[in-house]
Amino acid sequence: MQVTYRFKLYPSLKQVSRLIQWQNKIRSLLNVCLADRIDSYQDTFMQGEFCNLRSRGVASPLACSIHKSASLGEYWKENNPSKRRGDKSKLFNPRRSAYEIHSSFATSWRQTKPWYQDVNSDVLQQGLRNQNKAFGNFFSGRANFPRFKRTRDIGLEFKPGTVRIQENKIKFPSLGWMKFALSREISNNWSIRTVTITREIDIWYVSVLLKDETIPDYSQKSATELNTIIGCDVGINKIAAFSNGEIETNPRIGERFERRLKIRQRRLSRKKKGSNNRQKAGIAVAKVHRDIRRCRQDFQWKLGKKIAAMGDIIAFEALNIQGMKKRCKPKFCSQTGKYLSNNQKSKSQLNKAISDAAWYSLRQKTQHQAAKLGTWVIEVNPRGSSQECCKCHYISPKNRDKEKFVCENCGHYDDADLNAGNILAQRGKEKLGIDTLTVVSRKVTTEPELTGASGNRKNISSAMVDESGNPALFVQLKLFSDWEWNTG
Ligand SMILES: [Zn+2]
């Protein structure tokens, strides 16, 4: 099994300046290589007498790039059978891949630029390897196109076997010993694999990948071991509503820090560009973002752990979050030729709340915790889940009024989100096709006044509390009066 532990690292001042220098140097090499990849690709579309616009190289089979993703470094490799890996009976291909070309380029950079010799060559090469992986992810559709990096984004990755740990001290090649906060124990059975140093503003961290082959990986429960399924409906007022009647309110962490963030951003905007004070103000802003991130992560890990233990299967709704956050279409008045209000302003508030709730990362954390317990996390189609009655499956938009749900067909009433959670669980059961599953639901429907999110915010669940009497009865009375009206 493999695990990654992250510790706070305490490098000395000398080591810090060296680490930043390394980051700077690696960043510049990676960005040159990334630009080279983009340029080389563009050059393949060149027409006319040049084959490279930047160097103004004349088009000729000898001068032009032979690789469409890389032009720097060596294109060809020697046929050395002793160094060849893999199937040696295959015909030797002397062409280097884009990564190999850039790898040879990095070596030549180190020779021509003596200040690069300070950087550990493994760490430098590992940066290129990660960039190559980023391209692989892009071409297979898993990620966006690799971006140009900033110094602070650069992680320093050390190869397995080069780093040594002794109690709360860690030794890196060419950097020496550093102290770190041993916040969790590392058993002697674990072998240390890749070790990465990262920076978050002014704090350094070390991530240690540990491996122990004697411990088996976590195994998922088999289909026969599954007994219960629970539905989880995510939202903004209630971050999670479960089919068993439990509700988690949204802490709205972004909102808590909003004022502080606004003040610091304003301070930043008033500082002169390029000044030291602006840099300081920028750090102050980044620190607020870090606080928000930490708060949210803490909340989500705790909630994710709780959700993962609730049932054998957890059914989430499949959400198209990007689609939800799309801009409103502009409204255009054909007579005056002016734009009309399209409610984008209020939509932006909603978008902010959606981003703040961070449903996707909550689900990812739940999945992580579920993997430890062996429980399943599935996605179901949420279409119409807020309008469908969980008792009689009657679908109508009139069933729902804000947070209150009253079925027009059978009179079942509940909190709308709890009803949706129940529907999700039932759909998950259908999707998996396991008949023995029991949907975890409430046995007794509680009073409507008691459902809904806890009332620290004004606009929550007021609709249910306002009405006196039984809502189901209310509907029946209303129906009756309509009938009376119609029949005269
Ligand atoms: Zn119903």
Same-domain status, 206 and 230:
no
- Residue 102: name the closest of 129, 79, 120 by CA: 129
Give distance in angstroms: CA of 439 to centre of ligand 1: 17
If you measure from the C-alpha of residue 394 to the centroid of ligand 1, how many angstroms do you get, rounded to a whole number? 5
The answer to whether residue 484 sits within a structural domain is no
What is the Å distance from ligand 1's center to 415 Cα? 13
- pLDDT for 61 equals 63
Task: Give residue 395 CA to ligand 1 midpoint distance, Å.
Answer: 8
Write the CB contacts of 366 (distance below 8 Å, at least 6 apart in sequence): 303, 304, 307, 308, 314, 316, 377
Whether the per-residue pLDDT at 203 is higher than 90: the answer is yes
pLDDT at 79: 80
Phi/psi for 203 (5° steps) reads -110, 135
Q: Per the structure block, which two tokens stand in for 161?
A: 């076997």
Reference 136, options 125, 145, 149, 127; nearest CA is: 145
The two three-digit tokens of residue 301, written as one number: 């890990």
Average the pLDDT over 201-211 and give the result: 94
Ligand 1 centroid, distance to 418 Cα (angstroms): 14
How many angstroms is it from 250 CA to the middle of ligand 1?
Answer: 28
What is the whole-number distance in angstroms between the Cα of residue 392 and the centre of ligand 1?
4
**Token reading at 305:** 């752990």
User: How many A from CA of 231 to the centre of ligand 1?
Assistant: 18
Residue 24 neighbours by CB distance under 10 Å: 13
Residues 101 and 167 in one domain: yes
235 and 95 share a domain?
Answer: no
- Shared domain check, 59 and 32: yes
CA of 314 relative to ligand 1 center, distance in Å: 24
Range of 118's domain?
Answer: 2-211
Residue 156 C-alpha to ligand 1 middle, in angstroms?
Answer: 58
CA of 309 to the centre of ligand 1 (A): 30
Whole-model pTM?
0.79
Is residue 71 in a domain? Answer: yes
**394 and 418 housed in the same domain:** yes
Ligand 1 centroid distance, CA of 389 (Å): 5
CA distances from 227 to 133, 177, 305, 429, 440 (A): 40, 52, 19, 11, 10
Q: Which residues have CB under 8 Å from 193's CB, separation 6+?
A: 2, 160, 208, 209, 210, 211
User: Both 200 and 349 in a single domain?
Assistant: no
How far away, in angstroms, is 210 Cα from ligand 1 center? 53
Comparison of pLDDT for 340 and 7, the residue scoring more? 7
Q: Does the pLDDT at position 488 exceed 50?
A: no
Q: How many domains does the chain have?
A: 2
Q: How far is the CA of 408 from the centre of ligand 1 (A)?
A: 7
Point out the least confidently predicted range of 352-366, 399-413, 468-482.
468-482
Say if 391 falls within a structural domain: yes
94 plus 151 within the same structural domain: yes
Residues 87 and 227 in one domain: no
Contact residues for 206 (Cβ-Cβ < 8 A; gap 6+): 6, 7, 9, 170, 180, 195, 196, 197, 198
**pLDDT, tens digit (0-9, with 9 covering 90-100), for 21-59:** 999 999 999 999 999 999 888 877 776 677 666 666 666
Ligand 1 centroid to 339 CA: how many Å? 44
d(CA 199, CA 154): 8
- Compute, in angstroms, the gap from residue 423 CA to the centroid of ligand 1: 12
Give 391 Cα–ligand 1 centroid separation in angstroms. Answer: 5
Residue 92, domain member (yes or no): yes
Instruction: Give residue 400 CA to ligand 1 midpoint distance, Å.
Output: 11
Mean pLDDT of 374-402: 86
In a shared domain, residues 21 and 107: yes
Least confident of 1-5, 165-169, 408-412, 445-449: 445-449
The residues near 155 (Cβ < 8 Å, ≥ 6 apart) are: 130, 196, 197, 198
Residue 96 lies in a domain: yes
Q: Are residues 102 and 239 in the same domain?
A: no
Asked whether residue 141 is domain-assigned, the answer is yes
235 and 140, same domain (yes or no): no
Same domain, 139 and 79: yes
Q: What does the pLDDT read at residue 302?
A: 95
Average pLDDT of the chain is 84
Q: How far is the CA of 388 from the centre of ligand 1 (A)?
A: 8
Residue 488 makes CB contacts below 8 A (sequence gap 6+) with: none
Supply angle C-alpha 344, 347, 351, rounded to 5: 130
* Phi, psi angle pair for 202, to nearest 5°: -115, 5
CA of residue 226 to ligand 1 center, whole Å: 28
For residue 311, how far is its CA from the centre of ligand 1 (angstroms)?
Answer: 25
- pLDDT(420) > 60: yes
Closest CA to 456 of 299, 258, 256, 302: 256
How many CB atoms sit inside 10 A of residue 43's CB? 20
How far apart are the CA of 477 and the centre of ligand 1, in A? 17
Q: Which of 414, 415, 438, 413 is nearest to 428 (CA)?
A: 438
Q: 248-303: per-residue pLDDT in tens?
A: 999 999 999 999 999 999 999 999 999 999 999 999 999 999 999 999 999 999 99
Cα of 463 to ligand 1 centre, how many Å?
Answer: 20
Q: What is the pLDDT of residue 451?
A: 45
Instruction: Give residue 399 CA to ligand 1 midpoint distance, Å.
Output: 9
- Angle in degrees, CA 385, 386, 387, rounded to 5: 95
Q: How far, in Å, is the centroid of ligand 1 from the Cα of 413?
A: 8
What is the Å distance from ligand 1's center to 445 Cα? 14
What's the CA-to-centroid distance between 236 and ligand 1, angstroms? 25
Q: Are 364 and 379 in contact (CB under 8 A)?
A: no
Check pLDDT > 80 for residue 482.
Answer: no
Distance 454 CA to ligand 1 centre (A): 26
Whether 456 is covered by a domain: the verdict is yes
Whether residue 274 lies inside any domain: the answer is no
